[in-house]
Chains A and B, each alone.
Chain A
Amino acid sequence: DTAVSQTPKYLVTQMGNDKSIKCEQNLGHDTMYWYKQDSKKFLKIMFSYNNKELIINETVPNRFSPKSPDKAHLNLHINSLELGDSAVYFCASSLRGNKAGYGYTFGSGTRLTVV
């Protein structure tokens, strides 16, 4: 199946731990993103990579570090987790700048709960 797949789907962890979320797309897209959706469903972009190059880095604590080993993968590592990091994290992909005229394809999300 062509898709954006992210793992794990659920992640429950204690404050202070370090965790990673992985994302892979097999759509041939060249740009990948991380979005955070809070409890009020507000979606905010965190990072964007184009062909392994970081192009968007919003005001995100430096405890969050994205890594893109190739254009089909974008992982998110979070150090020293805090209660406020609890949210649903979505990976998405697209062709660069929507030039192809298509929207973003989203993964199914990772629900992170910090206790």
Chain B
Amino acid sequence: SQQGEEDPQALSIQEGENATMNCSYKTSINNLQWYRQNSGRGLVHLILIRSNEREKHSGRLRVTLDTSKKSSSLLITASRAADTASYFCATYNTGANSKLTFGKGITLSVRP
């Protein structure tokens, strides 16, 4: 069953603006990950944040995690046209037979 729910489903911004994408989930997690998928390509891992972490940075990416609200956000600062892609949050659940479960994804369009 689907775990993460991203919000918004689609986002269109101007180059140079910041893009914020949100993800909510339902069960206990070990970690939460964000992936990017360019059109017609495979998924690329962007960043992983563990359940005991609240914020993580990687280059222009900033991820936050609020386990009390079961939500995460991905911020891309100073967006570029090359950031145009679909972004997925994925949760890795706790317990036996843990697996990575993906949300529906957010389509980000960055206008030059």
Interface residues of A, Cβ cutoff 8 Å to B: 4, 33, 35, 40-45, 48, 55-56, 90, 92, 97-98, 101-109
Contact assessment for B104 and A105 in the assembled complex, using a CB-CB cutoff below 8 Å: no
Contact assessment for A41 and B105 in the assembled complex, using a CB-CB cutoff below 8 Å: yes
Interface residues of B, Cβ cutoff 8 Å to A: 2, 30-31, 33, 35, 37, 41-46, 48, 50, 86, 88, 92, 97-102, 104-105
B92 cross-chain contacts in A, Cβ below 8 A: 98
Q: Identify B104's interface contact among A40, A55, A103, CB under 8 A.
A: A40
B35 cross-chain contacts in A, Cβ below 8 A: 103, 106
A98 cross-chain contacts in B, Cβ below 8 A: 30-31, 48, 92, 98, 100
Contact assessment for A45 and B101 in the assembled complex, using a CB-CB cutoff below 8 Å: yes
- Chain A: minimal CB distance from B108 (Å): 13
Chain A, residue nearest B102 (CB): A43
Chain A, residue nearest B35 (CB): A103
Known A41-B86, A109-B41; judge A101-B48 contact (CB<8 A). Answer: yes
Q: How far apart sit A79 and B88, CA to CA, in the bound complex (Å)?
A: 30
Q: How far apart sit A23 and B48, CA to CA, in the bound complex (Å)?
A: 24
Known A98-B92, A101-B48, A102-B48; judge A108-B100 contact (CB<8 A). Answer: no
Q: Identify B42's interface contact among A55, A56, A109, CB under 8 A.
A: A109
Known A42-B2, A98-B92, A103-B48; judge A108-B104 contact (CB<8 A). Answer: no
- Chain B: minimal CB distance from A102 (Å): 7
Shortest Cβ-Cβ A-B pairs, 9 listed? A103-B45, A106-B42, A43-B102, A106-B43, A108-B42, A103-B33, A41-B105, A103-B48, A109-B42
